Structures are given as C-alpha cells and as structure tokens.
Amino acid sequence: MLEVSQQEKILDAAYAVIAREGYTRTSLRQIAQEAGVAVSQISYHFKNKQGLLLAVARRVANKYFAYMQSYLKPEMSPRQKGECFIRLYQEVLENDPDLFRVLYDLVGLALWSDPLRGQVREIFAGVLDQITAEVFTKEIMGELGTTYSPETLASLFFSGIFGIAVQSLLNPGNKIITESLDALNVILKVGEVKLT
C-alpha cells in the first residue's frame, strides 16, 4: 500500500477541520495537529491559509466530479442522467454531507476573495457544463418545446439542487427536504409544466 504524502495528509486534515469547524474558525495549528505535521509544513506546501483553501477547493471539485463520473453512464438517456444527478445529491447529502459543508463554506468565502471566486466559478461552470451536455440535449429541448436555452434550464436545475441541499444541511432531520429533490424531475417531464 502506498504511503500518503505529507501534502495529502495536510489536505485531508484541512478538509476534515473545515467541514467540522468552518473555515473562519479553523487555524493552521488545528490543521497541523490533525495532520500530525508542523505548521511550517503547511506553509512549505501551500504558502498560507488561503493557498491551502484553494487546494481544498480543487479537492472538493475533484471529489464532486468523481462522484458524477461514478454515477453517470454513457448508455443512460438524458432524462435518466437528470434523475441520476438528483439521486447523486440525495446520496451525498445522506452519506457525505461534509462535501456540501465545505463547498458552501467555499462559496461564502468566494464572495470576498477574487482567487477563491475564480476557483468556485470553475467548479460551478464544470457542473453546469456537464448538466447542459448530459441532460439538456437537443432531444430533451425538442420534447420540452421551450424557448429557454439548455444553459438556462441547466442553471435552474442546478440552482434547485444546490438550494435544496442548503436547506437539508440546515435541517438534516427533515426528510421532506431531500425528497423534494425528486420534484426537480418535473423540469424534465413533457407536458407536466409549461416553461414558456
């Protein structure tokens, strides 16, 4: 078995501490303690706390895209892929809510940090591009008969998922919230909702 590099240990620790405490309440000392390294090693690998946060943002993006790749299959229809995106969010909310805690913390911080804003914008652009390409295809758009662009519907779909996930984190015991993700399927149903 390969030994985990010091850089990976630091990233693992940063992810865990940020998920548990939030970025603003996290210190480099806490991360170093969790990783079992000296604080100077964090500076060596990541320069400073913001550099470490940017690396955590890349890790969150990679983890999210790995989830998507494991769920989406080429043989799925666009509707099945849309349903798959929803199931993915439901399962991640139940089994890995730390991913969303860290992501939402990053989004809040990105409002005030240009480098982080660019990183979060990249994450969102990747998700939106994938939803547009995989779900809102010419086939679906023709069936829906809407004048909205695929990008607009992908943004609506993603915003719905993202907003419901926030509600779920704020009220984790409420199963109705995570079940409400299924209601987003109405966007993909022909004749159930007129979007124009």
Residue 11 included in any domain:
yes
pLDDT at 193: 46
pLDDT at 25: 94
All residues at 6 or more sequence positions from 133 whose CB lies less than 8 Å from its CB, including other chains: none
pLDDT at 7: 92
Do residues 64 and 73 make contact, with C-beta atoms less than 8 angstroms apart?
no
One domain for residues 120 and 98: yes
One domain for residues 129 and 170: yes
CATH of the domain at 149: 1.10.357.10
Indicate the length of the chain as a whole number.
196
pLDDT at 192: 46
Containing domain of residue 64, as a range? 57-188
pLDDT mean by block of 10 residues, the chain; 196 residues: 79 95 94 95 91 89 85 88 88 88 92 90 91 91 86 92 90 83 74 46
pLDDT at 93: 85
Residue 51 included in any domain:
no
pLDDT at 176: 87
Rounded (5°) CA angle 123-65-149: 60
pLDDT at 142: 85
**Separation of alpha carbons 177 and 161, rounded Å:** 11
pLDDT at 10: 95
pLDDT at 11: 95
Secondary structure (3-state) at 1: coil
One domain for residues 3 and 92: no
pLDDT at 195: 45
